[in-house]
Amino acid sequence: MTINTLIAPENQLAILSRAEIHNLLDSSQGGLYRLLRNCALAVLNSGSGLDDGKALLERYPDFDIRVFSEERGIQIELQNAPAEAFVDGNIIAGIREHLFAVLRDIVYVENEITGNPAFNLETSDAITDAVFHILRNADIIRQHIDPKLVVCWGGHSISGVEYRYSKEVGYHLGLRDMDICTGCGPGAMKGPMKGATIAHAKQRMKYGRYIGITEPGIIAAESPNAIVNELVIMPDIEKRLEAFVRCGHGIIVFPGGAGTAEEILYLLGVLLHPDNLEIPFPLIFTGPAGSADYFKQINHFIGDTLGFEAQQRYKIIINDPARVGREMLAGVHQVREYRKGQKDAYYFNWSLNIDPVFQQPFDPTHQAMAELNLSKQQAPHQLAANLRRAFSGIVAGNVKEEGIRRIEEFGHFEISGDSDIMAAVDNLLASFVGEQRMKLPGSVYQPCYKIIH
């Protein structure tokens, strides 16, 4: 069942120029119409459980979105929209907010970032500045707030036991007055937020923050969950990852699949850069008792590829949500004292040096995947960057519309490198497949990659 309706913004972006509206409606103008349509459909699909971007677009081929201006501001017209986004014909308030957040960020990036001479996106500093401006425009960055934003990463299709554990961790974070930031989807991205909402209510905290950071390529596979009260759409996965580490004060990793491995490799690569060795950044891997083997496998993989030094940058805590809360609180306190001593901002981690190899967008074509340098004849943070790209390509082949189409047309991605690194990658991916961490439980996973030993 689908619905046709008109929607006006409430306390959000309300006015657009004629040129802006024209660009949003004309698919020849930088593809903005297609970008708006795909992201809007993902938002309207919240809670469906579908984690395949291509399948989502094919399920609603007649969905359409139009933006037009009236005397008192803009309105969005939806045609053949998923009925689950409405109650008695009225759009759910949170979904309305997310829909206009999509519109806000697409318009801002197109008009203020893309093609703006002030943002030479070939340079590291300019990319960081662009990330800052996008977050500030979305009101994610706020002054006069002590460090307390905890980023939570993990899989969107985790087991029920792991999901409940992530809620418990979120609960203990919320009791300690910490806010939550995730990739905004279901599973380990929703659980901590849900737990924190209960804790914030018990502590009579009226203004808890549940920030969701996504990007157009992944939003269809990980539609924003209903708890997210601040949503921002970054232009690509690299700026999304930088946004996490720039605005977060600590990170917790729950069990996940290739996407979670990508996030871990990104953060470890950043922390292993020589300029960042003294910067405190609490990082905890955690899960219920049944996830102990998962983290043992992750720890072995990191040791086999990046070495002992990388293993020293995180703690593994199994089946103890309260300890996770205490450890994170202590770690965030260290972050506060360090930034205070360095006279650095609490709201944006300017001091962190992010190598350009982590910032430049990686397009996972078959050629690019085959040419990745997966050798130990490079600095650990550089190897982490290339491993991150390998897992990013696997994520694209698993769930992103363009990646899925490439696999259908050209076959598997071929990934090669040093034999010991390839063995470690192969073992880790095999464990993900065996534990059904690549797709929703019950589906038969068809690998989009081939490891060349």
Q: What is the pLDDT of residues 336-348, one digit of tens each?
A: 999 999 999 999 9
Q: Give the model's pLDDT for residue 357.
A: 94
Token readout for 236 is 């690509």
Q: What is the pLDDT of residues 92-119, one digit of tens each?
A: 999 999 999 999 999 899 888 987 888 8
Q: Give the model's pLDDT for residue 57.
A: 73
Mean pLDDT for the chain overall: 91
| 125: in domain | no
Q: What is the pLDDT of residues 436-446, one digit of tens each?
A: 887 654 567 88
Residue 81 shares a structural domain with residue 161: no
* Number of Cα atoms under 13 Å in the Cβ half of residue 209: 23
- Mean pLDDT on 370-387: 96
| 126: in domain | no
CATH number at residue 211: 3.40.50.450
Number of structural domains in the chain:
2
Q: Give the model's pLDDT for residue 299.
A: 98
Q: Give the model's pLDDT for residue 1.
A: 74
CATH number at residue 33: 3.30.1850.10
Residue 303 shares a structural domain with residue 385: yes
| 153: in domain | yes
Residue 100 shares a structural domain with residue 156: no
* Last residue of one domain, picked from the residues 96, 114, 132: 114
Residue 254 shares a structural domain with residue 302: yes
Q: Give the model's pLDDT for residue 52.
A: 60
| 124: in domain | no
Confidence band, pLDDT 50/70/90 cuts, at residue 124? very high
Q: Of 52-56, 276-280, 327-331, where does mean pLDDT reach its minimum?
A: 52-56
Question: Residue 413 pLDDT > 90, yes or no?
Answer: yes
Quote the CA–CA distance of 99 and 36 in Å, as a whole number.
Answer: 9
With contact defined as beta carbons under 8 Å apart, do 142 and 153 qualify?
no
Residue 353 shares a structural domain with residue 253: yes
Confidence band, pLDDT 50/70/90 cuts, at residue 218? confident
| 127: in domain | no
* Sign of the Cα pseudo-torsion (153, 156, 159, 165, in order): positive
- Mean pLDDT on 211-220: 91
Amino acid in the structure at residue 239: K
Token readout for 239 is 């700026």
Residue 435 shares a structural domain with residue 368: yes
Q: Give the model's pLDDT for residue 323.
A: 98
Q: What is the pLDDT of residues 10-52, one digit of tens each?
A: 766 556 777 777 777 765 555 788 888 889 999 998 876 655 6
More confident site: 308 or 438: 308
With contact defined as beta carbons under 8 Å apart, do 253 and 431 qualify?
no
Residue 203 shares a structural domain with residue 299: yes
Token readout for 32 is 């903005």
Angle at 256 between CA 188 and CA 360, to 5 degrees: 100
Question: Residue 195 pLDDT > 90, yes or no?
Answer: yes
Question: Residue 212 pLDDT > 80, yes or no?
Answer: yes
* Last residue of one domain, picked from the residues 114, 132, 158: 114
Residue tagged 């999509």 (tokens): 102
Q: Give the model's pLDDT for residue 402.
A: 87
Q: Domain of 93?
A: 2-114
Q: How many residues does the chain have?
A: 453
* Sign of the Cα pseudo-torsion (49, 54, 58, 63, in order): positive
Quote the CA–CA distance of 452 and 443 in Å, as a whole number.
Answer: 26
Q: Give the model's pLDDT for residue 50.
A: 58
Q: Give the model's pLDDT for residue 442.
A: 54
Q: Give the model's pLDDT for residue 30.
A: 56
Residue 338 shares a structural domain with residue 409: yes
Confidence band, pLDDT 50/70/90 cuts, at residue 71? low
Quote the CA–CA distance of 6 and 63 in Å, as a whole number.
Answer: 14
- Mean pLDDT on 350-354: 96
Q: Give the model's pLDDT for residue 72.
A: 65
| Nearest Cα residue to 300 out of 424, 182, 184 | 424
Residues 6+ apart with CB under 8 A from 430: none
Residue tagged 């729950």 (tokens): 254
Q: Give the model's pLDDT for residue 125.
A: 93
Q: Give the model's pLDDT for residue 51.
A: 59
Residue 176 shares a structural domain with residue 219: yes
Quote the CA–CA distance of 108 and 50 in Å, as a whole number.
Answer: 29
Q: Could you count the other beta carbons within 10 Å of the beta carbon of residue 225?
A: 24
| 311: in domain | yes
Q: Give the model's pLDDT for residue 28.
A: 58
Residue 109 shares a structural domain with residue 151: no
Q: Give the model's pLDDT for residue 27.
A: 58
Q: What is the pLDDT of residues 133-171, one digit of tens each?
A: 999 999 999 988 999 999 999 998 899 999 999 999 999
Residue 279 shares a structural domain with residue 423: yes
Residue 263 shares a structural domain with residue 317: yes
Question: Residue 205 pLDDT > 90, yes or no?
Answer: yes
| 122: in domain | no
Confidence band, pLDDT 50/70/90 cuts, at residue 221? confident
| 307: in domain | yes
Q: Give the model's pLDDT for residue 440.
A: 52
